[in-house]
Amino acid sequence: MAKETIDLGNTPVGSELQMLLVGAEKSGKSELAATAPAPILFLDFDMRATALSGRKGVYAFTYRDPANTLAVPEAFTDMLDTLTLLEKSRSLKNLGFTNAADTDMVKTLVFDSCSTIANAARNYVLYNNPKELAHVITGPKFQFRSPRNWHGWTTEMEMVEKAIIRSLGIPGLNTIVNLHETKEEAEDSTEEAPKYTGQITVFPVRYRILLKYFNEVWRLTRPGAGPPIIQCNPDGVFTKASSSLRILTAKEANISKVVEAQRATKA
């Protein structure tokens, strides 16, 4: 579909979330994503879906490339197959979850996480285009590949970007992407003498290209063992935070409750 007509006056607040969750490892991104409107389907590349065990309405596909580096990497294309199924129907049963009811439709899709999805895309690109894009180190029972030039990275980025855009185009589906964070380097920073701006940016840094697609960009920090602290608006440390829901700060680490509260105030 090249053009979509939307009556925004009759569109409920937060009806289709487009959300980036940014934070360091173990900051609670997956935990927070699991509080979005259910049923929730995790596209799990971090192989940590079992950390969400026992949460009602949460489902996952875990994708992993074979440990044998001579074998064809298929994790990324397997995820694309899942997106194709979702574009035809959001039915959990049609996706293969046989215990789901016929009426159970995926409401929220979570890409977990962008950095490992990028790794899977790059594995696929370099395996299938070794002469053009890859440096290949071969041993008796292994091969390791790294990008030969910038085209290896840009091809990977385009694959990930287009996969996420496909999700954003599925009617009635919320899309959440989990991104790691890193210190922002200054323009004159070098590997030998790194310099930093004092700000935080997304990691991998090249995935700043995704920011333009998302209305909600929340940063999570977890200073202790309690629930994460959620930043929804920019400050001097993380200038990329944003919220079209006009949330200054999420007082409770629960996406569904935050959205319902905002709908109530707009009613």
DSSP letter at 70? T
CA distance readout (Å), 241 to 113, 164, 173, 217, 247: 18, 19, 22, 5, 11
DSSP track, 237-259: S-TT-EETT--SB-SSS-HHHHH
Mean pLDDT of the chain: 90
pLDDT of residue 1: 53
Domains observed in the chain: 8-124+157-266 (3.40.50)
pLDDT of residue 70: 86
* Confidence bin at 202 (pLDDT 50/70/90): very high
Q: How far apart are CA 62 and CA 55, in angstroms?
A: 16
CA distance readout (Å), 60 to 47, 95, 159, 197, 209: 10, 11, 21, 38, 26
* Confidence bin at 2 (pLDDT 50/70/90): low
Res. 8: pLDDT tops 70: no
Q: pLDDT tens digits for 126-177?
A: 999 988 998 999 998 888 999 998 899 999 999 999 999 999 999 999 999 9
Q: Do you know the residue count of the chain? A: 267
Among candidate residues 180, 181, 217, the one with its CA nearest the CA of residue 196: 181
Residue pair 230/219 in contact by the 8 Å Cβ criterion: yes
Residue pair 81/166 in contact by the 8 Å Cβ criterion: no
Q: How far apart are CA 244 and CA 214, in angstroms?
A: 9
- Token pair listed for 119: 């790794």
| Residues whose CB is less than 8 angstroms from the CB of residue 244 and which lie 6 or more positions away in sequence, other chains included | 215, 216
pLDDT of residue 195: 94
Q: pLDDT tens digits for 218-267?
A: 999 988 878 888 998 899 999 999 998 877 666 678 899 888 887 777 65
Q: What percent of the chain has pLDDT over 70?
A: 92
Q: pLDDT tens digits for 77-125?
A: 999 999 999 999 999 999 999 999 999 999 999 999 999 999 999 999 9
